[in-house]
Every structure is written in C-alpha cells, then in structure tokens.
Amino acid sequence: MNKFNLVQTAVLAGLIAGLSGTASAAEVGTWNGWSTGVYIGDAYGKSKLSTGVNASDYFTASVVDGAGAVEGAGSGSRSSNNFLGGVSIGYDKQFGNVLVGGEFDYTNFNRDVSQTTAAYYPCCVSSEFGFTNKVSVSSDWLMTARTRVGYVNGNSLTYLTGGLAATDLTVKHEWVDSYGANAQSSRSNLKLGWTLGVGYEHLLGNNWSIKGEYLYANFGSFSSQPGPLMLGTTRYGEMEGRGDMSVQMLRVGLNKRW
C-alpha cells in the first residue's frame, strides 16, 4: 500500500472497528450544536509539473525544436506522503435520523515536491548544449469549509461532506544551460479549490466523539511568474514553471460538543 502510511491506516481502521464497543446501546449524547476538535493523519499529494518556454529568439539556431526539447524534459509527475495535523470547528443540527451541518478546519502538512532534469537540446547544426531544469511545488497548510449530510443511528453517524478548500501554493522554476544562459522564477499565492469526502463519527459520552474521515481536495493548476531567459545582460525571452496539486487525506480525530 503505497499511498498512505500503513501505520496510520491500520490505526484508523482499528479505531473505527472498535467504536461500536466504546459506548452502551443507549444514546450517550446529542449531535446538535457546536463542536471543536483535533485530528491527525496522512496526506498523499500528487502534482503534475511542467515548464513553459517563450524564448524563440534564443532557440532560432536549433535544427529541431530546442524549446520543445526543454518543455518535454521539464514535464513529469511527483507524489509525496506527509504527516498532517489540524483543528476544526463545526455546527450540526439533527432532524430525526438526518444530520445537516458544517465544518471549518485548518491542516498543517508541509508538502514540497520537485523534479530536476538534466538533458540536451540540439543546437547550431553539429553541437548539443546540456541544460538542467528544476520545477517545484510546495504548500504548508490547507483549509476547508464544508457542509456535511449524514445518517444518524443512535450514537453513530455516517456522512458525506464537501465544499471549498484553500491552500498557499508556491511554484518555483530554475533553468541553466552549458552555454551560460539561465532563467529563474517563482510565485506564491492563495489558491482556491474544492473538496469531497466521507466519514464516520461515534459518540463516546460526556459530549465527546471520535471520528475517521477521508477527504479529497483538488486545487487545479498554477504557474510561477514568467522569468527572463538571460545570457549575460541580454534577454532572450521568458520561461516559467507550472504545477498543480491534489491531496488525499486520511484523518482520525477527537471532537468535543458544546
């Protein structure tokens, strides 16, 4: 199992499997009202990375598409597993066996992936120039604002959830060739996306509950600020790094209802 940390997955499965025995058959609390919570888990993130070249003046001497060679070598996909932790606040209202509510959470997970490629592009009929290209995507945190709708069976709640997601996304690009040309660029910005998931929560008594939750979040694509392609003091065009980010999160948490 390569997408989620095995230990965390096993702990989550064990907690959920044991929930039915943690409280008596009688209801031990209410689902109505405000709640606050903490959670930990695993984030499996995936990013597609690529390089954009707008520098025809520099590559005009190429026998074949030198810019295309750089773009092709600068494309790829990277994934990572990161420990996560966070806090949440929510409000729920029960209508018979149906629960409707909302939740806001903040997650810290410190994700940073990059791709570095060393390759060649043909130049000047009889020679080749080597180059090194690096694209990276990073994010330190993730927030979601979600609604949830679930089915209540006594002390147990099974629910679907979805809504908005936000993160700080940074894309960086670095390129240099053996002739001395180079380009650098970066951009950091708040990126909005969407999230969907499922979960299970169980009341433990004294308005405490424990839950397990799976969330998928997608933030689409993002690019660095186009950076100048320089050879000495002469500018020949621009290059930029491009990336996207999607995250799958598996979380276990403890909530207190007020």
Is the pLDDT at 2 greater than 70, yes or no?
no
Percent pLDDT > 70 in the chain is 84
CB 155 within 8 A of CB 111: no
Where is 7: in which H helix or E strand? helix 6-18
Q: What's the whole-number mean pLDDT along residues 200-204?
A: 95
Least Cα distance to 175 among 78, 59, 95 occurs for: 59
Is the pLDDT at 6 greater than 70, yes or no?
no
Of residues 126 and 212, more confidently modeled: 212
CB 199 within 8 A of CB 227: no
Is the pLDDT at 180 greater than 50, yes or no?
yes
Least Cα distance to 134 among 98, 167, 173, 88 occurs for: 173
Two structure tokens written together for 36: 């606050």
CA–CA distance, 139 with 82 (Å, rounded to integer): 11
Q: Which long-range contacts (C-beta less than 8 Å, at least 24 apart) are formed by 127-132?
A: 129/177, 129/178, 129/179, 130/177, 130/178, 131/70, 131/73, 131/175, 131/176, 131/177, 131/178, 132/174, 132/175, 132/176, 132/177
CA–CA distance, 152 with 141 (Å, rounded to integer): 32
Q: At 20, is the pLDDT very low, low, confident or very high (cuts 50, 70, 90)?
A: very low
pLDDT at position 15, please? Answer: 52
Helix (H, G, I), strand (E, B) or coil at 248: strand
C-alpha distances (whole Å) from 122 to each of 37, 51, 92, 221 are 58, 18, 63, 30
The residue count for the chain: 258
Q: Of the given ranges (126-130, 141-145, 183-187, 243-247), which has the lowest mean pLDDT? A: 126-130
Q: Is the dihedral of CA 34, 43, 250, 76 positive or negative?
A: positive
Residues 6+ apart with CB under 8 A from 177: 121, 129, 130, 131, 132
pLDDT tens for 27-65 read 666 799 999 999 999 999 999 999 888 877 777 655 456
